[in-house]
Structure 1
């Protein structure tokens, strides 16, 4: 008689709180604990309490180390069946959770929930140290390492630690010299996908806007107009504090931070702050050891393109910086500045 209810759909036991119906009385009794808050099953190891016995049994595996659910593909084991189901999607590529805003798909519901906050702007997790807010608990955890100095990801080659797994992966390419990302146009290889994407733009976007004064070319007209101010002296954006002029508003905004002391960009590795995002990105190479710019003459690598340009003068013999007093030329601007002190009557610093 009781079993037949599963076929007839008859659910004679209803909850007086929410009206939900059940086939069996014991299911109603268990459900009622969701309203009363009763948790009669406690763990003998840690004292944590649970509403249902099944939840207690599953929890106890965290103490015994038992992982009864194993992946048939790679053999990895899990405490809970739902974790095995989520893990299996890494092999199948299944992404059942899609964003209603942009259509992006995810393998886990938690990842979708976190992603949705990029549309809503919600940042429910705040740092207790500096108050900065984040859209996910993971991002807060990573950020917090900037305050604690924790670097849990260690390089097996040299022992260097990193706050992010991605930073470790980038760093490891300095040991292996592996460059798995190649350009389909010129076959040049790169250790990082982001570097490849930046490089590919040199093929995709032709530099059609050239400066009539110096011949320098640009992919966008706006960049050419901003550059021409170097020749014309037209600097429409000026600082109210010191009067210094700039070709565009973004440079003025960045400059104003020199006066206000605001440094909104922080390094997750060492906690150092910067006024510009570009300065933070440049600084990041100190931690990763990345040197993407190589000299075609001797193979020496550099973190910055400007450093490579200066180095190449040692091969070409180019001396673009000349003294207005005596005409002597130099490869580096710093050498010219040091030389000019001779004319000004200063003793050059050694």
Structure 2
């Protein structure tokens, strides 16, 4: 502090403002202050017309036009156009902080920083917005806020044309084009474009979370994160989309949402030309090319490309499910899962296909659906060249090459490469929990019930032109024509050359040669070549008779047994001898007849 400042500081403040009661040491200082209330700015720049309340401010401003910087720092060579700025700068080298807070002991280099700090303790917010009623601690924050209402963005980027409300955001934006990241972390070497970003990043190493929520005690590394979090409790969503009316709790969420309407994807990958709506999405995508997975689980060592994926993964170990549905009470480990679940109750399907009009409740399902129209198959197998629409289909295919079978049955220890195969395998329990509401028929899985439902909804609409038999599915009619009328057996055993109608039949036949019986009963250890034979056998243990004779009421475990039994009532003998016109009810009886009677034919 120089001698002039000391003289003014030590003099009594006898001149008081009648409007705000603030006191000053000299009448001149009071006169200058009153211009804050009157708005008077008597000093104008001849070059640009800007006005000022003090002549010193005008002189400092004119140096912007002349480029004059008469004040030089001897220690670092920096030059300044204003003497006050020069004196404040020197305190960086001397370490002087002459302004001390009596309440918390904190010290400051500049009086205005000290004055602003005092408002933390007093709660004073002297700058009020007439349009929305918000109050601010600092005049520059108030001026920036005013630009929200006026729409003014005075700072323009020459390279991309983007405009900004404040100079700070403009300077930080410039670093996107220059790639400059002048601030680096001493612990991990990461670099940042802004000092604030570095400060926040360093809390990753220290674990510091100085901002706590008063309602749930959750802590955050930044004040902005706390303010955004508090909207979870208040339900406030102050940012609304003008096109669809959807509201958001964060402005950047609204910015990203608007790109859904505009289709804008301003961030492009230099390696594959793929474009993204957000810079963060681009950064995450680039890890596909680099293989970087910077987030590791301390418990199992698994690594992830995104911190959110690590957070979600850690809940597997902790069992935490912090997101609960208010309507049914179901809990979820991830907020996105809750959002998708809530659409079950609301019926909302916000993702619509422009080509076919189909709607989806989930963005992932929508993107996958679009591949039907585009024909895109982005997942390629390096070993055999096959391509896939979906990542899960690609992963399952990879197990063909690796032989991996990660799903196993708890009861019989059989391994499977797919979860769906394990689910079907569990049918050896005999459970058939899915029932048809029309006819009462039971099914072991929802897929079987869905297929059966077409019988009632559509009927057997595919009719055989040769025998008049009806089928629910076209492929069933095609199979019928091949097997019954065409007698085509396209699947041949490589060992004995015997022909079969289906691939499954020839696979089961091969076990005749190998002696293998892979399906075994857990109740009596009896083994079978086919799963259907095991299912019929399990009904024998359970005493279940699903097929009943309409003539005499007798029950049967298997449909074929019922079919043969009905021949007793109808007198039908569908199996004819090609040699002597004799007929039989069973194909086995016909074969025995041909072997014994016509063995020489």
TM-score above 0.5? yes
Query: Kindly tell me: are residues 170 and 299 of structure 1, through their superposed partners in 2, closer, same or farther at Cα, counting changes over 3 Å?
Result: farther
Distance in 2 between the 1:118 and 1:34 partners? 37
Alpha carbons 1:153, 1:164 under 8 Å: kept? yes
Please say if 1:77 is aligned against 2:333.
yes
Q: How does 1:200-239 map to 2 (within 5 A)?
A: 200-203=453-456, 204-205=458-459, 216-218=468-470
Query: Kindly tell me: are residues 181 and 321 of structure 1, through their superposed partners in 2, closer, same or farther at Cα, counting changes over 3 Å?
Result: same
Please say if 1:199 is aligned against 2:199.
no
Query: Kindly tell me: are residues 2 and 173 of structure 1, through their superposed partners in 2, closer, same or farther at Cα, counting changes over 3 Å?
Result: same
1:117 positional shift? 0.8
Distance in 2 between the 1:31 and 1:290 partners? 68
In structure 2, what is the equivalent of residue 6 of structure 1?
Answer: 148
In structure 1, what is the equivalent of residue 443 of structure 2?
Answer: 190
Please say if 1:132 is aligned against 2:386.
yes
SS at 2:324 equivalent: coil
Structure 1, residues 39-95: CA drift from partner, whole Å, max 9, x if none? Answer: 8788x89x99998759799828827947999312233233xx656544554564432
In structure 2, what is the equivalent of residue 305 of structure 1?
Answer: none
1:133 positional shift? 1.2
Alpha carbons 1:295, 1:312 under 8 Å: kept? no
Alpha carbons 2:432, 2:445 under 8 Å: kept? no
Q: TM-score, normalised by structure 2?
A: 0.38
Please say if 1:20 is aligned against 2:20.
no
1:279 positional shift? 3.9
Query: Kindly tell me: are residues 99 and 164 of structure 1, through their superposed partners in 2, closer, same or farther at Cα, counting changes over 3 Å?
Result: farther
Structure 1, residues 211-251: CA drift from partner, whole Å, max 9, x if none? Answer: 78xx653369x969x959977xxxxxxxxxxxxxx69xxx7
Distance in 1 between the 2:505 and 2:600 partners? 40
Unaligned runs of at least 5 residues, structure 2: 1-142, 202-220, 222-279, 281-293, 296-305, 495-499, 509-518, 520-529, 540-544, 549-553
Distance in 2 between the 1:229 and 1:160 partners? 33
In structure 2, what is the equivalent of residue 62 of structure 1?
Answer: 310
Unaligned runs of at least 5 residues, structure 1: 232-245, 262-274, 302-307
SS at 1:17 equivalent: coil
Q: TM-score, normalised by structure 1?
A: 0.59
1:177 positional shift? 1.4
Distance in 2 between the 1:92 and 1:198 partners? 28
Alpha carbons 1:94, 1:107 under 8 Å: kept? yes
Query: Kindly tell me: are residues 202 and 113 of structure 1, through their superposed partners in 2, closer, same or farther at Cα, counting changes over 3 Å?
Result: closer
Alpha carbons 1:321, 1:330 under 8 Å: kept? yes
In structure 2, what is the equivalent of residue 235 of structure 1?
Answer: none
Distance in 1 between the 2:585 and 2:192 partners? 74
In structure 1, what is the equivalent of residue 348 of structure 2?
Answer: 94
Distance in 2 between the 1:201 and 1:341 partners? 44
Q: How many residues align?
A: 296
SS at 2:348 equivalent: coil
Coordinate RMSD, CA, aligned? 5.4
1:309 positional shift? 2.5
1:339 positional shift? 6.4
Q: How does 1:144-163 map to 2 (within 5 A)?
A: 144-163=398-417
Query: Kindly tell me: are residues 283 and 198 of structure 1, through their superposed partners in 2, closer, same or farther at Cα, counting changes over 3 Å?
Result: farther
Which shifted more, 3-12 or 330-339? 330-339
Give the number of the structure with larger relative contact order, counting CA–CA contacts within 8 Å between residues 6 or more apart: 1
Structure 1, residues 242-281: CA drift from partner, whole Å, max 9, x if none? Answer: xxxx69xxx7xx95x98xx9xxxxxxxxxxxxx99x6469
Please say if 1:313 is aligned against 2:564.
yes
Alpha carbons 2:575, 2:584 under 8 Å: kept? yes
Aligned counterpart in structure 2 of residue 300 of structure 1, from 538, 543, 557: 557
Query: Kindly tell me: are residues 111 and 281 of structure 1, through their superposed partners in 2, closer, same or farther at Cα, counting changes over 3 Å?
Result: farther
Please say if 1:105 is aligned against 2:105.
no
